[in-house]
């Protein structure tokens, strides 16, 4: 048995209330390592990929990695894998904070939740004590209150909770799962919990893991701390900015490039820069820094609302992506309204990023006359109207009126608001854009188009293009680069490393930490192949659901020139985009239609995935 694992998977069936444990096989450890790898492999093997994501057959896999909750900094996250009700693709989503630490103390490497309860429940896990408990009294409550009630019920046990708010209960397809500090945001995992009548989990325990080679592991941890220290002592680096001010340092930087997506990606110039910029929150609303378990970067920031109805409210956030989605995209220039919007999304259990961009699209559809004020239940949802934004957030969470349309995501909104709105519906595969502009950052264009869960920034070359390490406007070579980054990030997510660790850690360091913790014998090359194996399994899952080249695409707006500022005239041409995609598929060893070939899957040791794909797609 390898070290740094407990060798146990917990399986909870909500239909028959059966709770069991299974051994973690060496095969799973050697080829999938942990975190995302475990989740993707288990889901791929255990479900028919074509199932209804909100049906009883869908499963939810929570997992941690072999380095979680050790001394190693920036490995604090927890992973959730399920089939997304928003995109119909496979979904993996991450939450930092301290949930991973408590998960690790429980003595399990992964938790599989399946079936559907008859009544609302929550699951409590503390060492071997695993219970499915009634949650009727919590159903209908927001995430914060729910967490408090669950913790009260479990008084005396040191646990952390991850719950859904009303959005998840109402099967809103952009619902998140909210932990006590961070959130599993993207892709609607909260709605999957809601479909199972599962309010959430509370987890903790008294277990501890054993390392394979503690001395070496400590040496590599020290190396990691040194790298972080050096990076954050240089004020020019992104990590230093994250540490001092928060991820919102990106606002000024991106705006200077003409790439701060604003008003539903109509422009890359943020006209509210004087009101909402990289230092607004630090200077006026900052309360304290927050960090994931053991992380010296502490990129999280708590802010306090000072005036109005919500005066005194303290919220962790908003971070950069939320400021973009709820702020620059909707042209909301009131920082306090942004703190409140961020809070409401968290409390109702809505993904801020998806919610904001969905509202921005609706604002544009309204201003351009595709929908009327009546269709918006009388809301004057123009750009900049923060009161209307806050009300729309509530409407989505409760499926109230027009909120019922938006609650099923942007693809459903296009159906209702008209085919003409498709050109400015900023999404890929139904997942709305993260805060990056494909017209300025062309590698990002390819990353958005090809990411398995939709327009995702976490599988992309954020730092490299923004910091000018590679030419953001170049297209040649981006296919190869994006493929490599996607594989690398997937491998990091098996550990489960924070996405920002990649700014400072060389691949060697991940490999050395992994080997010294577990006794595995990874090389850099094998580590990259690990990421590629998982990427291909995800892709096969999606191909079985009908996703091919036609879905690896971008909305029309990305092919129009930008109107103003430093990026004036920048656009992506169809030719450039298709060339990048061809290069990318060739690097992946896939067909021109973006379908993995038998040869490549065989090389990755997953020929069985090809057979499964053929079984579902032939005839
Ligand atoms: S950098 Fe931020 S998100 Fe990453 S582990 Fe540290 S505190 Fe968490």
Each residue of 118-137: pLDDT tens digit? 999 999 999 999 999 999 99
Residue 463, pLDDT > 90, answer no
* Pairing state between β 314-316 and 300-304: antiparallel
Q: How far apart are CA 37 and CA 495, in angstroms?
A: 9
Q: How far apart are CA 97 and CA 265, in angstroms?
A: 31
Q: For residue 382, how far is its CA from the centre of ligand 1 (angstroms)?
A: 35
Residue 461, pLDDT > 80, answer no
We find that the CATH architecture of domain 245-432 is Orthogonal Bundle (1.10)
Q: For residue 292, how far is its CA from the centre of ligand 1 (angstroms)?
A: 5
How many Cα atoms within 13 Å fall on the side-chain side of residue 435? 29
Q: How much of the chain is helix, strand and coil, in % rounded to 5?
A: 45, 15, 45
Among 498, 502, 503, residue to substitute to test ligand 1 (most atoms within 8 Å of Cβ): 498
Domain boundaries, the chain: 8-204, 245-432, 444-617
Among 67, 74, 95, 250, residue to substitute to test ligand 1 (most atoms within 8 Å of Cβ): 74
C-alpha torsion sign, points 587, 588, 594, 596: positive
State which ligand 1 atom lies nearest to the alpha carbon of 499.
4
338 touches 280 (CB < 8 A): no
Burial 538-568 (b: 16+ CB within 10 A, else e): bbbbbbbbebbbebbbbbebbbeebeebebe
Q: How far apart are CA 611 and CA 609, in angstroms?
A: 5
Q: What is the pLDDT of residue 466?
A: 84
Helix H or strand E segment including 509: helix 507-518
Q: For residue 100, how far is its CA from the centre of ligand 1 (angstroms)?
A: 13
Closest CA to 99 of 125, 81, 121: 125
Q: For residue 239, how far is its CA from the centre of ligand 1 (angstroms)?
A: 10
Q: How far apart are CA 179 and CA 163, in angstroms?
A: 6
Closest CA to 407 of 170, 55, 52: 170
Once rounded to an integer, what is the mean pLDDT over residues 321-331? 98
Q: What is the pLDDT of residue 39?
A: 98
Q: What is the pLDDT of residue 89?
A: 98
* Pairing state between β 160-163 and 60-63: unpaired
State which ligand 1 atom lies nearest to the alpha carbon of 298.
7
Q: How far apart are CA 117 and CA 132, in angstroms?
A: 9
Q: For residue 142, how far is its CA from the centre of ligand 1 (angstroms)?
A: 25
Is 131 buried (19+), middle (13-18) or exposed (0-12) by CB count in 10 A?
middle
Q: Express each pLDDT in 6-34 by its tens digit.
A: 999 999 999 999 999 999 999 999 999 99
Cβ neighbours of 594 (radius 10 Å): 20
Helix H or strand E segment including 339: helix 335-348
Q: Is 378 helix (H, G, I), strand (E, B) or coil?
A: coil
Task: Tell me which CATH code domain 8-204 carries.
Answer: 3.60.9.10
Tokens encoding 498: 């924070």
Q: What is the pLDDT of residue 619?
A: 58
Q: Please check whether the two domains, 245-432 and 444-617, share a CATH topology.
A: no
Of all protein residues, the one whose alpha carbon is nearest to atom 2 of ligand 1 is: 299
SS (H, E, C) 204-266: ECCCCCCCCCHHHHHHHHHHHHHHHHHHHHCCCCHHHHHHHCCHHHHHHHHHHCCCCCECCCC
How many Cα atoms within 13 Å fall on the side-chain side of residue 22? 13
Q: For residue 490, how far is its CA from the centre of ligand 1 (angstroms)?
A: 17
* 27: CB partners within 8 A, 6+ apart: none
State which ligand 1 atom lies nearest to the alpha carbon of 77.
5
136 touches 161 (CB < 8 A): no
Among 295, 320, 492, 495, residue to substitute to test ligand 1 (most atoms within 8 Å of Cβ): 295
Of all protein residues, the one whose alpha carbon is nearest to atom 5 of ligand 1 is: 74
Tokens encoding 283: 């200077």
Once rounded to an integer, what is the mean pLDDT over residues 238-262? 94
Burial 276-289 (b: 16+ CB within 10 A, else e): bbbebbbeebbeee
Residue 557, pLDDT > 90, answer yes
Q: How far apart are CA 104 and CA 66, in angstroms?
A: 9
Q: How far apart are CA 195 and CA 93, in angstroms?
A: 18
Q: How far apart are CA 203 and CA 162, in angstroms?
A: 9
Which of these ranges, 124-138, 233-247, 415-429, 512-526, has the smallest mean pLDDT? 233-247
183 touches 176 (CB < 8 A): yes
Q: What is the pLDDT of residue 435?
A: 94
More confident residue, 420 or 465: 420
pTM exceeds 0.95, yes or no: yes
- The pLDDT-based confidence of 534 (bands split at 50, 70, 90) is very high
Which of these ranges, 322-336, 341-355, 450-464, 520-534, has the smallest mean pLDDT? 450-464
**Lining residues, ligand 1, CB within 6 Å:** 74, 76, 96, 291-292, 295, 297-300, 498, 500
Q: How far apart are CA 304 and CA 309, in angstroms?
A: 13
Q: What is the pLDDT of residue 94?
A: 96
Domain 444-617 sits in CATH 1.10.760.10: no
Q: Express each pLDDT in 69-81 by its tens digit.
A: 999 999 999 999 9
Q: For residue 383, how far is its CA from the centre of ligand 1 (angstroms)?
A: 32
Among 73, 76, 183, residue to substitute to test ligand 1 (most atoms within 8 Å of Cβ): 76
Q: What is the pLDDT of residue 354?
A: 98
- What value does the mean pLDDT of the chain take? 96
CA 525 to chain centre: 26
Tokens encoding 270: 């943020």
Q: For residue 117, how far is its CA from the centre of ligand 1 (angstroms)?
A: 35
Residue 462, pLDDT > 90, answer no
Of all protein residues, the one whose alpha carbon is nearest to atom 8 of ligand 1 is: 292
Closest CA to 180 of 153, 205, 159: 159
């Amino acid at each position: 048995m390898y070290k740094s694992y407990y060798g146990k998977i917990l399986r909870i069936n909500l239909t028959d209330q059966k709770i069991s444990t299974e051994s973690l096989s060496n095969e799973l450890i050697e080829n999938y390592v942990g975190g995302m790898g475990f989740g993707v492999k288990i889901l791929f093997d255990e479900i028919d990929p074509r199932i209804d994501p909100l049906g009883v057959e869908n499963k939810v896999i929570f997992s941690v990695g072999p380095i979680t909750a050790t001394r190693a900094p920036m490995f604090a996250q927890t992973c959730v894998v399920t089939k997304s009700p928003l995109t119909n693709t496979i979904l993996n989503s991450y939450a930092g904070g301290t949930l991973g630490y408590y998960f690790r103390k429980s003595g399990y490497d992964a938790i599989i939740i399946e079936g559907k309860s008859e009544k609302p429940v929550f699951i409590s896990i503390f060492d071997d004590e695993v219970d499915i408990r009634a949650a009727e009294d919590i159903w209908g409550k927001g995430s914060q209150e729910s967490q408090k009630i669950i913790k009260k019920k479990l008084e005396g046990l040191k646990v952390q909770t991850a719950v859904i708010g009303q959005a998840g209960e109402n099967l809103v397809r952009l619902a998140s799962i909210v932990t006590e500090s961070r959130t599993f945001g993207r892709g609607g995992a909260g709605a999957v919990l809601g479909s199972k009548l599962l309010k959430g989990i509370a987890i903790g325990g008294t277990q501890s893991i054993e390392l394979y080679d503690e001395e070496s592991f400590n040496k590599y941890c020290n190396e990691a701390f040194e790298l972080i220290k050096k990076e954050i002592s240089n004020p020019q680096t992104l990590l230093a900015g994250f540490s001092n001010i928060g991820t919102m340092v990106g606002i000024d930087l991106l705006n200077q490039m003409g790439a701060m997506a604003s008003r539903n990606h109509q422009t890359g110039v943020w006209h509210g820069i004087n009101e909402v910029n990289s230092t607004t929150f630090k200077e006026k609303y900052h309360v304290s820094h927050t960090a994931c378990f053991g992380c010296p970067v502490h990129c999280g920031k708590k802010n306090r609302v000072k005036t109005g109805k919500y005066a005194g409210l303290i919220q962790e956030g908003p971070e950069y992506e939320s400021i973009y989605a709820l702020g620059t995209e909707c042209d909301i220039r009131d920082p306090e309204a942004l703190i409140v919007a961020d809070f409401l999304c968290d409390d109702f259990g809505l993904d801020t990023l998806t919610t904001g961009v969905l509202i921005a699209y609706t604002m544009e559809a309204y201003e351009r006359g595709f929908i009327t004020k009546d269709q918006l239940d009388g809301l004057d949802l123009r750009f900049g109207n923060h009161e209307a934004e806050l009300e729309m957030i509530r409407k989505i969470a409760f499926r109230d009126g027009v909120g019922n349309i938006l609650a099923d995501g942007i693809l459903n909104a296009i159906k209702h608001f008209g085919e003409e709105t498709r050109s400015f519906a900023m999404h890929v595969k139904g997942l709305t854009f993260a805060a990056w502009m494909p017209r300025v950052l062309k590698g990002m264009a390819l990353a958005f188009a090809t990411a398995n869960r939709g327009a995702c920034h976490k599988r992309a070359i954020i730092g490299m293009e923004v910091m000018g390490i590679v030419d953001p406007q170049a297209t040649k070579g981006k296919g190869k680069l994006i493929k490599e980054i996607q594989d690398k990030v997937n491998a990091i997510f098996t550990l489960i490393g924070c996405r920002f660790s990649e700014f400072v850690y060389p691949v060697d360091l991940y490999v050395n930490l992994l080997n010294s913790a577990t006794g595995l014998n990874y090389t850099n090359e094998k580590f990259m192949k690990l990421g590629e194996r998982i990427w291909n399994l995800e892709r096969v899952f999606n191909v079985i659901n009908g996703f091919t080249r036609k879905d690896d695409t971008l909305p029309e707006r990305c092919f129009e020139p930008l109107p103003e500022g430093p990026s004036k005239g920048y656009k992506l041409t169809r030719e450039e985009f298709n060339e990048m995609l061809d290069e990318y598929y060739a690097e992946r060893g896939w067909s021109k239609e973006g379908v993995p070939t038998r040869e490549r899957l065989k090389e990755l040791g997953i020929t069985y995935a090809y057979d499964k794909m053929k079984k579902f797609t032939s005839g």
